[in-house]
Every structure is written in structure tokens, then in C-alpha cells.
Chain A
Amino acid sequence: MTRLASHASSKLPKTDQHRGLTVDIHSAQDQFKLNVSAQFDARRITAIYGPTGSGKSTLLNMIAGFSKPNRPSQITFNSNQWLKKSGKAVAVHKRKIAYVTQSSTLLPHLTVKDNFLYAIKRAHTKKERGAKNKRPFAPQNTLESIGEQFNVSQLYSLFPEELSGGEQQRVAIGRALLSNPELILFDEPVSALDEESRESTLTALEKLHKLAQVPCLYVTHNIDELMRLADDVIPIANGHASQCMAVADALSNSAFSLSANHSTGVILEGRVAFIDNAHGLISAAVGTQPNIYCSAGSSNISQNQPIRLRIYAKDVSIALSKASDSSILNIIPATITKIACDEKNKTLITMQCFEQTLLAAITRKSLQDLSLQEGQHVFAQIKGIAVLSAKE
């Protein structure tokens, strides 16, 4: 997989004028107003994150060209003006996008294989087919390799409605890649799935992240998916969004995290420092901290490999002194930088340690009992760390 990905990156177009998506969208329907001005990086997975009814799917549909804003708006992708202020728009089929949503978008009259072939046949526009220098087709995206990567080659002769929800989504993701898109749009692709299918689909999405050198927009209201998949995030609320930021930065921002549900936390990027097979642990180097212990799990992990760690705020507690008789492996000196409370008595402590940000969710009682203050030196006790994925 690693070999394929590096092979693909060498095929990337060298020209690097303005790569990315810039949107300036204004629309109003009944009481709902959508105002979004944002820039998306061209090579990353950007989550559009917000609660139900915040306008995130509407925004995605407008980027896809499925619907049009009713106020003067602009959408520009890689120097192509998809939508001009005048209302002139590039048709959906000319935008070189792929779209995956929670309901099946597979063509019901075609088998899995024919669905793949449908995408391959249309992977290049008419103009491109005639041109000498075709848009490079990522070499790993062949029918065979996609079938294998997404574990669907045994389903080739089946029709979409004979597939489970998870299988349908994996086929849809594979088909999206085969259409050779320049941008992939996901609209809550796993929200309609049961736990098991959800897991296999998320794994497929992580694979896509590594395989495809294609930017993705990922609409979700689920902070776990955000932490697992996204590099950047655009928080959207009440139809308003303006800022695109790195997920790690967003998560360590207590205002953002308080607005999320209970499973808020941070993600840390690090490397495998050493593997302790005897105890089933790995030690990760993150920032200036040489060893953070986490459970190795079942995934194949090798020395020095980059990894992404997720630490929920609820799994971090605070002590004033370093306990030597604790079962907790990770007790790290930290400095409180911010204390934020919401109306439900949830208190979120932001701390700096090893040049990273940690969040701790504690009760207001603990805050008062320990009389915690901003700038105070404390010890962060981390009870649980999940190894999310190995990043390239």
C-alpha cells in the first residue's frame, strides 16, 4: 500500500498555481440563511462539521452543483470558476467530482462490476480523451486493485440491492475513486449504517485517504469521524461558516469542543518510538514527550511509523501531584491555559504539555476542590488513548 501511494504521488501534476476550493456562498430559503466564505486546501480531507440542520449538506450540494444558491455566489476550484456571481455555472458532469452519500447512489440496474465500469468509462471528459496529455489516472485505481483494496471483488456479479449497507458504501467509495475525480464529496457516508458496516466503511475511507491523492470534503456531525478521518475542519452552525482550521487545532480549542457532544477530545500526531511486545504496548513520541504508552491493539505497527492518537477529554483527569501508586501509565506535567464551563456544569480544561494541547473534562466540583486556575502547573493523568490510524 505504501509503495502504491508513493508511486501515485510521483504522478501528481507539477503545476501548482492555485490548487484548492474557494467558496463564497450566500443563499436564503424561508427562515434559513446560508453564508459561507471559506478556502479548502487541495490535498487534504476537510470535514464540514456541524449539528443537524446547520446547512452542511446544503453547502455540499451547492459545491457539487446539485443545487444553486439563490443569491450571488462564487465557487472556484483549481482556477476553474464553477459558479460565477452572474449565476453562470459549470454543469455537474463537467466538475470532475465524485459524490458519496448515506443512501445508495449505485446504479440499481447494473452489477457492482458494471457500476465500476460505468465510472471508468466516464473518467475522462470528451475533451480529455482527445487530448495528448490526459489527466493522469492514478495508477493504483484499476478495477482489480480497487476491488481488492475495498474488499468487494467477490461482489462483482451482484446487483446493488443484493449488497449490505456497508458493502454498498464500499462499492460507492471504490467507484468514486475509479471515476478519477479531482474532488470527492462525502455526505455523512456512514451515518445510516449499523456498527459493523460503519467500521468497515470507515476503514475503507481511511484507505482512500492514503490511496487517493484527491482532496475530499466530508460532511459529518460525528466528532469521532472527524477525529479519525479529517485533516482540516470547517465548523458550521446555523448556516454560517468562515474558518477552515486543522482538526488538531480545532479540537484543542475549548469553545469548539464544548459545542461538540460528550465525546470531545484531542488528536495528537506522533511516531512509534518503541514496541513493547511483552506488555502489548507501544510507546509513542509526541512533540517533546518521548514516551506516551498506548495499547498496541491488533493493527500492524512498525518502529518509527507515524501514528495518530485520540485522547478523549473524559479520559483525562487532573492531579496536583504526581501519583506514584497509580495504575495510570501516562502521568504528564502540564500547564493549564484555559478553563471553560458550559451551562450544564461541564468544565473543560485546556492544558499545554510537551508542546501539545490536551483537554480534560472534569466536574465543577473538582474544579472548586482543587481550586484550579489558569497558568497553574498540574499533572494530566491520561487513562485511555486510542491509536486511530497510521498516517503517511
Chain B
Amino acid sequence: MFEALSINDIAAVWLTFKLAMVSTGFLMLLGIPLAWWLARSHHALKPFFEALIALPLILPPTVIGFYLLVAFAPDTWAAQTWRSLFGSNLAFSFSGLVVGSIIYSLPFVVQPLQSSYEKIPRIILLSAASLGASPVDRFFSVVWPLSRRATLAAAALAFCHTAGEFGIVLMIGGSIPGETQVLSIVLFDHVESLNYSSAHTIAALLLLFSFLSLIVIYSTGFRNYRGAANTEHN
């Protein structure tokens, strides 16, 4: 029933891993300050940003993919800016996939972090300030250790969610081996060409990976991404 992975399949495993790693890195860099701002802010536009970030949770990935594809078209402002900066195209490229993955997985990073940050009592941060801790010092000496579990969970969710995405990749990446052909695409290709034994191998691989990842996430004591616990010593 299972067939050993072909060279092409192995390239897809590596590409998927690379995409998930790079995207998770950018997601954390972007998500942590964004979640911190959302947790502390009373800005009038806060609900607008929260809704915007949450959109990928309910929107069909193909919708996001379609709009990204339109935005990535070579004559758009976004694509031209990108080309002038990096000298490459966004559509049907690895960079394009990273951009898409960041948008697609952002709520999975921001929401657990935001709810973890919101649970830190204001008085704790104020008293740390009164002891002489600057805002940056406060973040690393109080916020970071108190939200360690949520940070881990956010990173793991971002990684898994990116590794498993399909709709957006199909729309903006196509299926270029070594560039945009990730595992979920390879699986689709195998099924389309009725190569079920290879499809089985890859499906089982993705299933196993996702299941193990969730076990890891839950074993950190993390419950659900809206109720991210920072119960360090409870």
C-alpha cells in the first residue's frame, strides 16, 4: 500500500520543512510585537486589526490565494516594489509562499500570544516599572517568562499550520518542484495521477506529523489558542 518516497517527494519534504521554518521565524518576529500591541492598546482601530488578522481563520484559503495572486501580478505596485528590493517575482516563487503563509498563519500566532499577554496583571508590570525596569527590560524579564508556554504553542501552531497549507499554495505557488511543490501539493498530484500508493505514504506522513505536533503542543499544558494559559506555577 505504501510506496517509498521518490526523490521528488523527498525534495517536497525538505521544501515543506524549509517553508514552515522560515515562515514561523517571520511570524514570531511579526506576531510578538503585534500581539503585545493588541493586548495593551485601547486604540479605536484595534477591533479592525483584530478582525483583519483573524480573517484567514474563516476565509477559504483559495480566496486569500486569489487576492494574493492578483496582488502578485508583475505589474502591481506590490510586485514591483518587491522586485526592486529583491530582484525576484512573488508569484510562483518560494518568497511568495512565505508571504502567503505569514498572512495565512498569523492568527495562530497572534491570538494565543495576545490572550496570554492580556492575562498578565497590569499591576505586576507597573510594579516592575517602579523597581526601575524599562519597557524593554519589562518585556524580557516579566512578559517573556510569563508567556513562555503560549510562545511555544504559537510557534508550534504556526509551523504545523504552514506545513499543512494547501489552498493558498495551489493558487499562488502552483507546483514547481523544489520551489513551490510542498507535500500537500505532491499528495494532490499523486492522487490526480491515480498514484494511490505514493499518496498513502505522503498522507500518512502528514497525518503522523500533525498528530505528534498536537501531542507536543498539548503536553506543554496549552489548552486552546484562545485561552492560552500562562499558568507557570499553578
Q: Which residues of A contact B (CB under 8 A)?
A: 64-66, 91-99, 101, 103, 105, 107-109, 118-119, 122-125, 159, 161-162, 175, 179, 181, 185
Contacts and interface: CB of A to CB of B under 8 A. Distances in A.
A107 B132 contact: no
Contact of A179 (B121, B131, B146, B233): B131
Nearest to B126: A66
Interface string B105-129: 0000000000000000101101111
Output the residue of A65, A97, A103, A109 with the most chain B CB within 10 A.
Answer: A109
Contacts of A105: 123-124, 126-127
Given A101-B123, A118-B133, A161-B233, 9 more contacts: A64-B126, A92-B130, A93-B131, A93-B134, A94-B132, A108-B146, A119-B132, A159-B233, A185-B130
B77 to A, nearest CB: 39
Which of B126, B131, B146, B232: most chain A Cβ within 10 A? B131
Q: Which of B129, B130, B232 has the most CB of A within 10 A?
A: B130
A98 B127 CA distance: 7
Contacts, number: 71
Contacts of B133: 93, 118, 122
Contacts of B138: 93
Interface-central residue, A92, A94, A98, A185, by most chain B CB under 10 Å:
A92
A92 B130 CA distance: 6
B141 interface: yes
A98 B130 contact: yes
Nearest to B142: A107
Main secondary structure of the interface of B (DSSP, over half): helix
Contacts of B33: none
A119 B142 CA distance: 13
A124 B133 CA distance: 10
A163 to B, nearest CB: 12
Contact of A108 (B126, B137, B233): B233
Given A107-B124, A108-B124, A93 B232 contact: no
A134 to B, nearest CB: 14
B60 interface: no
A159 B133 CA distance: 20
A106 B215 CA distance: 33
B124 A179 contact: no
Nearest to B233: A159
A179 B123 contact: no
B146 A92 contact: no
Contacts of A103: 121, 123
Contacts of B47: none
A28 B133 CA distance: 30
A209 to B, nearest CB: 20
Given A103-B123, A107-B124, A109-B145, A118 B131 contact: yes
A109 B116 CA distance: 14
Contacts of A64: 126, 130
A299 to B, nearest CB: 32
A388 to B, nearest CB: 29
B232 A122 contact: no
A109 B232 contact: yes
B233 to A, nearest CB: 5
B128, B132, B233 pick with most chain A CB within 10 angstroms: B132
Contacts of B146: 108-109
A178 B121 CA distance: 23
- The list of the 9 closest CB pairs from A to B, nearest first, reads A122-B132, A105-B127, A92-B129, A99-B130, A179-B131, A109-B145, A93-B129, A109-B232, A119-B131
A161 B124 CA distance: 13
Contact of B131 (A65, A91, A175): A175
A118 B130 contact: no
A339 B172 CA distance: 89
A99 B127 contact: yes
